[in-house]
Amino acid sequence: GGSAERLGQGARAMASDDSWMLELLASHYGTQLTETTEVAEAKNDIDSGTFDADAYTRDLLADKTLPDLIAYQETLAKKARSLDSSMQNLVYENYNKFIRATETIREMRDSVGELEAEMTTLRAAIDKTGATSAKLTGSLSSNRSKIEQLAGVRGLIGKLEFLFQLPARLRSCLELGAHQQAVKFYRAASRVLRAHSGVASFAAIATEADGIAEQLRERLRAPLQDGSSRAADVAESARLLLLLGEDARPLITSFLRWHERRLRAALHGAVAAAGADGADEDESSAASGARGGAGSREPPLSVEAAASAAARRLPVGDPFAAVTLLNRSFTDAFVRTAKAFGSLRTIAEREADEDRAARHRRRRRRRGGARADEDDDDGDEDEDDGDGDGSGGSTGDDESTSSEREGAPALSADARATRAARAAARREDMQALSGEFETFAAECFAVYFSAVKRAVGRADAVRALLRR
């Protein structure tokens, strides 16, 4: 009886200890141990939360013998001691972690408090800044339009200063030989000066600048008339003359004629360098003079003498070296000339397009008055502003419909006819320039084939002389 009583007391103590331990663990880890309706735990399960110690003890007393009860009591005591030891170890091992977590939470709470105070201060500063900005905007709004107006006046003064200094700048460029910079300055100011030609001061500046520009044109025309000029200088002079508004057709024609003369001289020189007597007397007086023709201090060279000289110059194994030299000279010169011609034609077309666009903008600005007077003025303006219109790539139909596409009123029949005539003239000029280049190419090829024929004849003479 006493053993059974002690067994019941031990089971009840163990159950109470287990419940205490579970409550302690739940307080540390936040585990909520609640009985659910879905799972009904057995009341005789010692590990269950609904364990009934009295009923469990009665069942043990009814089912087990005394030795079994004593052995079971010892087993329960060992489990209780083991659980107590595990719980103590768990508390000891996590004590420092619990302390650090508590301190961290306290520090976070303090930091959040300081951050809230700083945010409050920052919010007050932002509100103060916004109020100050609004106050400044209100005080300066009345002067904003004046400041913008003064800025525009300053920009206008800078442009006017450039215009008033234009003649001095152009003279300085002429003295320094900076022709490209002079053309740039003149082009930048000439349209403005023409647009305000009614102002006396602008008219005086335009007159003086035009005079200096004419001097610049004379300087730029000089390389086109000098046979000893460099090809690069001739191309640059022609380009700058086009930018200055020079008529494209005669200018490009002079450019091609200069290259034709240079190519003839190069081919004659190639034949002479290869051992020929330069050129036949009836083809080039300069070449015949170099070989002893009229005006030369030396007697004319015979065919035998020319062949002997060629034999000394030409490699014995390559009697047609003259042809190779001619090919190289002709190809290089002709390709350079063709590229330069294409560049000049492109510049002429672009200049014509820019002039046409400028006239169109002026018409749109002046539009709005009487249509009849406007159309008459439009035709006169087209005639007056025709500088550089000898070239261009646009058709009359494209130009006549551009104003309608941009929303401007349609032109009259007379204005359309004027535009169509000017567009046809531009196309005719472009065709004429193409014809000039074709003529230039044909003449160059004729000179080339003639030089090749002479070189081959000289090579035959060399071979005949070598055989003898």
DSSP string, 231-265: HHHHHHHHHHHHHTT--HHHHHHHHHHHHHHHHHH
| Residue ranges making up the domain that contains 94 | 2-33+40-123
Tokens read off for 119: 């945010």
| pLDDT tens string 213-226 | 888 888 888 888 88
- Number of structural domains (the chain) is 3
Residues near 186 by beta carbon (within 8 Å), at least 6 away in sequence: 166, 170, 209, 212, 213, 216, 244
Residues near 425 by beta carbon (within 8 Å), at least 6 away in sequence: 389, 390
Quick one: 235 and 366 in the same domain? yes
| 422 contacts 382 by C-beta, under 8 angstroms | yes
- CB atoms < 10 A from the CB of 337, how many? 24
- CB atoms < 10 A from the CB of 190, how many? 18
* Whole-structure pTM value: 0.43
Q: Which of 144-153, 239-248, 303-312, 405-414 has the highest mean pLDDT?
A: 239-248
Position of tokens 């190809």? 331
Quick one: 274 and 412 in the same domain? yes
Q: Which residue has the higher pLDDT, 9 or 391?
A: 9
Quick one: 308 and 351 in the same domain? yes
Mean pLDDT rounded to a whole number for the chain: 68
The answer to the question of residue 141 being in a domain is no
**Mean pLDDT computed over 243-263:** 78
Residues near 151 by beta carbon (within 8 Å), at least 6 away in sequence: none
Q: Is the pLDDT of residue 294 over 50?
A: no
Residue 311's pLDDT is 41
Residue 267's pLDDT is 63
Quick one: 172 and 291 in the same domain? no
Tell which residue, 431, 246, 260, 249, has the closest CA to residue 336: 260
Could you give the percent of the chain with pLDDT greater than 70? 53
Q: Which residue has the higher pLDDT, 146 or 28?
A: 146
Tokens read off for 326: 């001619």
Quick one: 231 and 221 in the same domain? no
The answer to the question of residue 302 being in a domain is yes
Residue 39's pLDDT is 41
Q: Where a domain ends, among 225, 245, 260?
A: 225
Residue 194's pLDDT is 78
Quick one: 236 and 361 in the same domain? yes
Q: Which residue has the higher pLDDT, 379 or 178?
A: 178
The answer to the question of residue 339 being in a domain is yes
| 351 contacts 242 by C-beta, under 8 angstroms | yes
Q: Is the pLDDT of residue 326 over 70?
A: no
| 353 contacts 394 by C-beta, under 8 angstroms | yes
Quick one: 357 and 312 in the same domain? yes
**Mean pLDDT computed over 124-132:** 91
Cα end-to-end span (Å), the chain = 159
Q: Which residue has the higher pLDDT, 35 or 367?
A: 367
For helices 371-384 and 321-366, the axis angle rounded to 10 degrees is 150
Tell me the C-alpha distance between 115 and 273, whole Å: 95
Q: Which of 181-185, 265-269, 354-358, 380-384 has the highest mean pLDDT?
A: 181-185
Quick one: 334 and 375 in the same domain? yes
| pLDDT tens string 419-443 | 677 667 666 766 666 666 677 667 6
The answer to the question of residue 134 being in a domain is no
Residue 102's pLDDT is 86
Residue 464's pLDDT is 65
Residues near 299 by beta carbon (within 8 Å), at least 6 away in sequence: 292
Tell which residue, 24, 50, 16, has the closest CA to residue 36: 50
Q: Is the pLDDT of residue 158 over 60?
A: yes
Quick one: 110 and 152 in the same domain? no
| pLDDT tens string 17-66 | 556 555 655 665 554 444 444 344 567 777 777 777 888 888 888 888 88
Residues near 257 by beta carbon (within 8 Å), at least 6 away in sequence: 440
Residues near 15 by beta carbon (within 8 Å), at least 6 away in sequence: 46, 51, 53
299 sits in which H/E element:
none
| pLDDT tens string 64-110 | 888 888 888 898 899 888 988 888 888 888 888 888 888 888 888 88
Backbone CA torsion sign across 404, 409, 414, 415: negative
Position of tokens 């209780």? 80
Position of tokens 């009985």? 35
The answer to the question of residue 133 being in a domain is no
Quick one: 254 and 208 in the same domain? no
Tokens read off for 130: 């916004």
Quick one: 273 and 301 in the same domain? yes
195 to 159, 170, 353: CA distances (angstroms): 14, 20, 18
Q: Which phi and psi (to 5°) does residue 222 adopt? A: -60, -45
Residue 126's pLDDT is 93
Q: Is the pLDDT of residue 175 over 70?
A: yes
The answer to the question of residue 259 being in a domain is yes
What's the CA angle centered on 339, arms 333 and 345, to 5 degrees? 130
The answer to the question of residue 359 being in a domain is yes
**Mean pLDDT computed over 132-155:** 76
Quick one: 101 and 154 in the same domain? no
| pLDDT tens string 232-241 | 888 888 888 8
| 244 contacts 230 by C-beta, under 8 angstroms | no
Q: Which phi and psi (to 5°) does residue 105 adopt? A: -65, -40
- CB atoms < 10 A from the CB of 396, how many? 19
Residue 125's pLDDT is 92
Tell me the C-alpha distance between 253 and 212, whole Å: 25
Q: Where a domain ends, among 225, 256, 271?
A: 225
The answer to the question of residue 409 being in a domain is yes
Q: Where a domain ends, among 71, 106, 123?
A: 123
